[in-house]
Structure 1
Amino acid sequence: MHHRSRTPGPKLLGVAIAAVLGLGVAVPPAFAGPAGGPSADADPVPGLVAGSDTGAPQLVTGLAEAAPGDNPAEAARAHLAAHQDRYRIDPGQLVEAGVERAADGRRTVRFEQRHGGIPVFGARYLVHLVGEGTGQRVESAGGKYFTGLTAPTVQSVPDEVLRRLAIGAVQDPVARAGATAEDRGPVVLPGGAGRLARHFTVRGSDPAVWAAKAQEVFVDASTGEVALSYQVRAPYPLDVPGAAASGVAAGVAASAAATSPDAAAAAPALEPATGTAPDALGRPARVNIGRLPDGTYQLVDLTRPATVTTYDAAGRDELDFSTLPADAHPAASPTTDFPAVTGTSGATDAHLNAAAVYDFYRDRLGRDGIDGKGGPITSVVNVTSFGEPLDNAYWDGRKMVYGGGSGKYLPFSAARDVAGHEMTHGVVKHTAELVGLGQSGALDEAVADYFGNAIEVTGRGMPMTDPRAALLGEDLCRTGTPEACADRRLDDRRTTVADYVGAPAGVDNGGVHLNSTIFSGALWDIRRTLDPLLADRLVYRALAEYLTPLDDFVDARNAVLAAGRALGLDRARLRTVAAAFDAHGIKAGWQRRIGVDSRPLLRELSTESVAPDVAAGRWVAATAGEGAKGSMAVYTGAVAGSAEPARLSAEDGRSHGWPATDGTTAAWVAMGPGADGGWGMEVLARPLDGGPARSVQRGANQYFGDVRVSGGDVAFLMTDYATGRGGPVLSRAGAPAVPIALPEGHRASALAFRDGLLAWTESWQVGERTVSAPTVYSLAAGKVVAQYVVDDANAAAGTEVGSTRLAGGRLLWVETPFDRTKGSTIRSGALDGSGVSDLLPAGPRLGTGTEPRRISGLTASDRAVTFAEAARPVTGGTRNTDLPKLWQLPLTGGTPERMSCNRGGQYSPVADRGTRVVWLDATAGRTDLVVRERAAGTC
């Protein structure tokens, strides 16, 4: 959940699970009709919700069909088989994934879908049974099962190539250099015919460099395209202005801890005992403890089926506890009176709160612990992060990890709602398994928000009318009011249409924390309106029995309503539940109600990481098509007019992307098997108005990128995998491509091409420092004609130089210090290497905020320069205003104006003629290719 500011990771493929995998939003019958809402007497629980991109329904309720048998899974399977006309499910593709048994005897059978024996990512189908034996019957069913999958089940790209491509998905070159990829095996990504992919967990060997950018990467096993990539679950940063990055190893820990032996397994036998220990505020508390044979005591609670154990890391780094080290021991005392450090470290509070969370789930909801089977509950307190206090807490996949606090914060275990929130993530993992990306990830956070607060207010006996009841983390601050301290509040009244943060996958995994209170706020309103115990049981039943990994907000609304019917809520109370979701804008079609001031050219692109291009009123872009089905293809269209986009790339089983155009010709990169059956990359070029594509360059052990085209000439960057060397390559008038030699040890990036001039950023090492130089190369002269050296000798952290652009007879580029206390500068130089000036000096962030401006993209025409401000570090207060926005100013300099007032993330701007700009926009919770003719001005 929580907690300290951290810079967002690089942009990753995939905006949200729904977009990446082709999962749309079904329209429940209850919301059909001209007004888009139900009639006053309509049943708020949909009887049938059609699935999207599948013949199988998303939800079927109101059943009472016999399914006799003593084995619930076999009875459920037989039911699905007997009703093929309704479900269209092949029982042979289902593998039992477990049976959830409710306290009232109801059983939920979970099935996982297989395609040719290979798991289908996120595909779960659930059948709900009541009664016993011959009286057993099916009450409802639903989930995500994908019909029509025809993806191959044998990969054609070699394992080592797939691994290399997975590592290549890491865009930070420093992190990528030390990265490794753990092979998780094959998986079929749903959507259309499906895609066979290889799943890798990519992480760095140097955590200080990697900084929590462990990624789940899915590489298409037929083409080599990175089909899906997102960060492993990481802790949520609390809004701590100016705080250093923290919690950086949470994602690494989540995977490592799940597979490593637990040091506690070798612990000596303990006897139950009781004692006293001070809490974080020094108040004495009674604790259940364990007595060792030598007469000493540890914080081990043996009074419950789930053993509760609390370790004190004593200030060691969180990385040391990705798995419990052999020398780790529970917090200890020579007597039953534990010392003061047990409180100041947070151990006492962690111990008591873990037990309280267990009791809540057992006594109130009938669940036996986090895993539902009475498994051990482990907490580690008082960890640090690279020598700094860790103002954070997280569930790492196996245990709780808490920072020991700082001068501003108490130990993070001191807040029961924080403990409840994080431990609920464990419950979600053992039930719905919600994928931590986009809306499904926001649902995971929302459920954790809800139960974290519900556990605290129930334990304190707080009425729901208490203003503090809706606050999350309000008790962590050493000074200040609870309202000022709270990380989130569940009564913030946010709605989808007004407040949904259109974030791509690279920002908070698609806004999983930034959008959570839209849904948890609706759940909290339900708890305020219904009896709190009934509301808790309702939300828990939806989680344990109805939600599946890829569900979105509307799916979850239907899940809660269906759970309400199963609990016996009457129609009036079900309408109350529906009204709470309505009030937060959670109903089918909400995305279409978000207003924008741009004009769409192509909707729902499959990625925001592959930039478009535009010239002379013609655009090119790459996408896997509506719903992100299949491999990427290159499309083109006119900026003006309404003609359908035309596909440029062939349907040849390869992935085509990274396009460029000069308004007449397009060039791009294809990757996948060639005519000889071997995998490789190829640069292709084709006229926009028709004609065959020609091969510019093909290589089996080479990487091509940064393709540019001008006057029919094609330039690109090439890297040889075997030697690691590379640089610009040029093909003139269809002739074979020829490398442009760089000095030994020099590298090129950020290629630009226009009017017989190539430009790039050249960099090389001089001793311990990096030297970078925006460089201009003349095709006519056959040599470099200008170079502007940026020497980092006086910049300890270094400077990133990039985004080179040719416009108006000048070279433009961006200089950004790695020191985040300093901002970016847009510089301009004459094409003979003289006359360098600052077009936009470093300054504070535009529009809002006082932190230094950081620029993440630059484009220019002969009249105007347009740039994107980088996203602010994701914090508890992050809103749409903190996501990247486009600004424009005259090429001669001046005051920047907002290019668009769209409230979501704006990425990859490319300039056309005059002030016209095309970009990728995530305002509607998906990536659209859009255009504006001129700046919007002040928003």
Structure 2
Amino acid sequence: MLNRKILTLTVTTGIILSALGGTPKALAASTTSKWEEVTGKYTKAKGIGHFGDTRILHTTKANNQYYLQDTTRGVKIVTYDGQNRDDIRPILWRDTDKKFYDAKDAIAVDAHYYAGVVYDYFKEKHGRNSYDNKGGIIRSYVRMGDFADALWAGSGILYGNGNSDDGIQTRGFSSALDLVGHEFTHAIISTSSKLIYKNESGALNEAIADLFGTLIEHDSYNKKLTKKKANWNFAEDVYVDGKTFLRSMNNPASAPLSINSGYREPLIDSEGKIHTHYPDHYSKLYKGTEDHGGVHFNSSIINKASYLLSEGGTHYGVNVQGIGKEKVGKIYYLAATEIFTENTNFKDARLGLEKAAKKLYGDNSKEVKQVQAAYNAVGIK
């Protein structure tokens, strides 16, 4: 997720181009800090996340303290504390008794734990060795300021504390597993297809991130790692009211634009068309310059196609037979990492997904036919 009001970011390179206010010091700290690491003994600890779930945490004991530094997976996973300082200097999150139970620990506990869940998903399902497929260190930054957002910043994921802007109360943004997976997927894209963060390629970038965040949520919840139920809404766990969500993959129009703080007013495109809800068909494509050409808006068209391909349904008179989450994940992963290029648009994406399905399941397979049906259903032909 990326708030246009906070910064301009190129996901192609992962380099911050300019900070427009809100978190500039946090961004600078995350990309320029000399990262603290410790050498010590692996120790299993416990912590409590935002929703009261007790997490098993992999930590490193050194200097009589327990640091959120996981060395058990071959890939190092570390969580940093920005300390909510004006002169942000991230340090490793630590505790003196290996019980991360304080209320302030929740944002770090969830960030650290979910980073491991997301890494495990991509390793187990797709054989990927961290975001860069080279064993890159996975860094999370928490307590970086009272902003309501999370973002991949080139060196790691930044999580805002949440706030009550626009009358909507949000909690720490590491509280939502689908959001953690979303940002990690941006990191994968930045080191593979490098989809340019603008217009249709940027919307495709966002849609792929939404999809894998959602697939990770379903995979994790099915393993009973939490009492919560998986769904096809996005980032619902960051909202304190328990009913708000940022986007919906199965019913895009159910999420009004006003919920996204980046869209405080309806979008009016270059053709004078007014957009008040997220689209579910290519005929509703936003054509304008806001939000880098509607990357967070037009992504919902791809989201709807992805949902139909997984779960099935009839949309605009087109029937789609779902092929399931496992196959959808394999098809999109192959396309996103080996077939898509930086300029891939929606029509190219359809062709790339068909190519991936053919490679995985055969030229005349059900999977190929349902990719075609799903994209026909949203008007991408």
Establish whether TM, by shorter chain, passes 0.5: yes
In structure 1, C-alpha distance between the alignment counterparts of 2:292 and 2:369, rounded to whole Å: 33
Question: Residue 284 of structure 1 corresponds to which residue in structure 2?
Answer: 54
User: Following superposition of structure 1 onto structure 2, how do residues 532-571 of structure 1 map, counting pairs within 5 Å?
Assistant: 532-569=325-362, 570-571=364-365
In structure 2, C-alpha distance between the alignment counterparts of 1:350 and 1:272, rounded to whole Å: 19
Match of residue 469, structure 1, among 221, 227, 231: 231
Match of residue 501, structure 1, among 286, 290, 296: 286
User: What amino acid is the match of 2:201?
Assistant: S
1:807-844 CA-partner distances (Å, limit 9, x unpaired)? xxxxxxxxxxxxxxxxxxxxxxxxxxxxxxxxxxxxxx
User: Following superposition of structure 1 onto structure 2, how do residues 343-492 of structure 1 map, counting pairs within 5 Å?
Assistant: 343-344=105-106, 346-384=107-145, 389-406=146-163, 408-461=169-222, 469-481=231-243, 485-492=244-251
- Comparing 549-558 with 274-283, greater Cα deviation is found at 274-283
In structure 1, C-alpha distance between the alignment counterparts of 2:333 and 2:194, rounded to whole Å: 14
Per-residue deviation at 1:499?
1.6
In structure 2, C-alpha distance between the alignment counterparts of 1:233 and 1:469, rounded to whole Å: 34
Q: For residues 251 and 449 of structure 1, do their structure 2 counterparts lie closer, same or farther at Cα, with a shift above 3 Å needed?
A: farther
Per-residue deviation at 1:467?
9.4
Question: Residue 307 of structure 2 corresponds to which residue in structure 1?
Answer: 524
User: What amino acid is the match of 1:474?
Assistant: E
User: Following superposition of structure 1 onto structure 2, how do residues 702-717 of structure 1 map, counting pairs within 5 Å?
Assistant: none
Q: Is the 8 A contact 2:26 2:144 kept in 1?
A: no
Q: Is the 8 A contact 2:59 2:70 kept in 1?
A: yes
5+ residue gaps, structure 2, are 253-278, 312-321
Question: Residue 271 of structure 1 corresponds to which residue in structure 2?
Answer: 41
User: What amino acid is the match of 1:280?
Assistant: H
In structure 1, C-alpha distance between the alignment counterparts of 2:302 and 2:220, rounded to whole Å: 23
Question: Residue 309 of structure 1 corresponds to which residue in structure 2?
Answer: 78
1:87-138 CA-partner distances (Å, limit 9, x unpaired)? xxxxxxxxxxxxxxxxxxxxxxxxxxxxxxxxxxxxxxxxxxxxxxxxxxxx
Structure with higher Rg: it is 1
TM-score, structure 2 as length reference: 0.80
Q: Is the 8 A contact 1:383 1:403 kept in 2?
A: yes
Q: Is the 8 A contact 1:331 1:342 kept in 2?
A: no
TM-score, structure 1 as length reference: 0.34
Structure 2 SS opposite 1:310: strand
Q: Is the 8 A contact 2:80 2:141 kept in 1?
A: yes
In structure 2, C-alpha distance between the alignment counterparts of 1:332 and 1:467, rounded to whole Å: 31
In structure 1, C-alpha distance between the alignment counterparts of 2:198 and 2:2, rounded to whole Å: 17
In structure 1, C-alpha distance between the alignment counterparts of 2:21 and 2:202, rounded to whole Å: 21
In structure 1, C-alpha distance between the alignment counterparts of 2:325 and 2:18, rounded to whole Å: 30
Per-residue deviation at 1:335?
1.4
1:841-888 CA-partner distances (Å, limit 9, x unpaired)? xxxxxxxxxxxxxxxxxxxxxxxxxxxxxxxxxxxxxxxxxxxxxxxx
Q: Is the 8 A contact 1:474 1:487 kept in 2?
A: yes
Per-residue deviation at 1:262?
3.7
* Identity fraction in percent: 28
Q: Is the 8 A contact 1:251 1:396 kept in 2?
A: no
In structure 1, C-alpha distance between the alignment counterparts of 2:205 and 2:10, rounded to whole Å: 18
Per-residue deviation at 1:342?
4.5
Q: Is the 8 A contact 2:7 2:18 kept in 1?
A: yes
Per-residue deviation at 1:498?
3.0
In structure 2, C-alpha distance between the alignment counterparts of 1:234 and 1:401, rounded to whole Å: 16
**1:212 and 2:1 correspond:** no
Q: For residues 511 and 268 of structure 1, do their structure 2 counterparts lie closer, same or farther at Cα, with a shift above 3 Å needed?
A: same
In structure 1, C-alpha distance between the alignment counterparts of 2:376 and 2:8, rounded to whole Å: 36
Q: Is the 8 A contact 2:309 2:371 kept in 1?
A: yes
Structure 1 SS opposite 2:158: strand
Structure number with higher strand proportion: 1
Per-residue deviation at 1:404?
1.4
**Higher RCO (CA < 8 A, seq sep 6+):** 2
Structure 2 SS opposite 1:263: coil
Per-residue deviation at 1:382?
1.6
In structure 2, C-alpha distance between the alignment counterparts of 1:488 and 1:470, rounded to whole Å: 9
**1:582 and 2:339 correspond:** no
Q: For residues 489 and 547 of structure 1, do their structure 2 counterparts lie closer, same or farther at Cα, with a shift above 3 Å needed?
A: same
Structure 2 SS opposite 1:364: helix
In structure 2, C-alpha distance between the alignment counterparts of 1:509 and 1:250, rounded to whole Å: 23
Question: Residue 315 of structure 2 corresponds to which residue in structure 1?
Answer: none
In structure 2, C-alpha distance between the alignment counterparts of 1:566 and 1:534, rounded to whole Å: 12
Question: Residue 295 of structure 1 corresponds to which residue in structure 2?
Answer: 64
User: What amino acid is the match of 1:525?
Assistant: L
1:447-477 CA-partner distances (Å, limit 9, x unpaired)? 00100111111100199xx996210011111
In structure 1, C-alpha distance between the alignment counterparts of 2:100 and 2:163, rounded to whole Å: 22
User: What amino acid is the match of 1:537?
Assistant: K
Match of residue 93, structure 2, among 324, 331, 347: 331
Per-residue deviation at 1:299?
0.7
User: What amino acid is the match of 1:490?
Assistant: M
In structure 1, C-alpha distance between the alignment counterparts of 2:171 and 2:73, rounded to whole Å: 28
Q: Is the 8 A contact 2:46 2:100 kept in 1?
A: yes
Per-residue deviation at 1:571?
2.8
User: What amino acid is the match of 1:508?
Assistant: D
Structure 1 SS opposite 2:341: coil
In structure 1, C-alpha distance between the alignment counterparts of 2:17 and 2:305, rounded to whole Å: 24
1:610-640 CA-partner distances (Å, limit 9, x unpaired)? xxxxxxxxxxxxxxxxxxxxxxxxxxxxxxx
In structure 2, C-alpha distance between the alignment counterparts of 1:251 and 1:233, rounded to whole Å: 14
In structure 2, C-alpha distance between the alignment counterparts of 1:417 and 1:337, rounded to whole Å: 25
Q: Is the 8 A contact 1:527 1:535 kept in 2?
A: yes
Per-residue deviation at 1:283?
3.5
Q: Is the 8 A contact 1:308 1:377 kept in 2?
A: yes
In structure 2, C-alpha distance between the alignment counterparts of 1:2 and 1:278, rounded to whole Å: 27
RMSD between aligned residues:
2.9
Question: Residue 275 of structure 2 corresponds to which residue in structure 1?
Answer: none
In structure 2, C-alpha distance between the alignment counterparts of 1:215 and 1:312, rounded to whole Å: 25
In structure 2, C-alpha distance between the alignment counterparts of 1:526 and 1:424, rounded to whole Å: 20
Q: Is the 8 A contact 1:296 1:333 kept in 2?
A: yes
User: What amino acid is the match of 2:340?
Assistant: L
Per-residue deviation at 1:535?
1.2
In structure 2, C-alpha distance between the alignment counterparts of 1:353 and 1:261, rounded to whole Å: 23
In structure 2, C-alpha distance between the alignment counterparts of 1:467 and 1:577, rounded to whole Å: 27
Structure number with higher helix proportion: 2
Structure 1 SS opposite 2:181: helix
Q: Is the 8 A contact 2:233 2:248 kept in 1?
A: yes
User: Following superposition of structure 1 onto structure 2, how do residues 413-812 of structure 1 map, counting pairs within 5 Å?
Assistant: 413-461=174-222, 469-481=231-243, 485-492=244-251, 494-504=279-289, 507-528=290-311, 529-569=322-362, 570-587=364-381
In structure 2, C-alpha distance between the alignment counterparts of 1:350 and 1:380, rounded to whole Å: 8
In structure 2, C-alpha distance between the alignment counterparts of 1:378 and 1:234, rounded to whole Å: 21
Q: Is the 8 A contact 2:10 2:17 kept in 1?
A: no
Q: For residues 232 and 583 of structure 1, do their structure 2 counterparts lie closer, same or farther at Cα, with a shift above 3 Å needed?
A: farther
Per-residue deviation at 1:234?
8.8
In structure 1, C-alpha distance between the alignment counterparts of 2:102 and 2:182, rounded to whole Å: 27
Question: Residue 274 of structure 2 corresponds to which residue in structure 1?
Answer: none
User: What amino acid is the match of 2:133?
Assistant: G
User: What amino acid is the match of 1:310?
Assistant: T
5+ residue gaps, structure 1, are 7-210, 217-230, 236-244, 588-939
User: What amino acid is the match of 1:532?
Assistant: K
Per-residue deviation at 1:285?
1.8
Q: For residues 313 and 234 of structure 1, do their structure 2 counterparts lie closer, same or farther at Cα, with a shift above 3 Å needed?
A: same
Per-residue deviation at 1:410?
1.5
In structure 2, C-alpha distance between the alignment counterparts of 1:440 and 1:566, rounded to whole Å: 23
In structure 2, C-alpha distance between the alignment counterparts of 1:439 and 1:363, rounded to whole Å: 30
Structure 1 SS opposite 2:44: strand
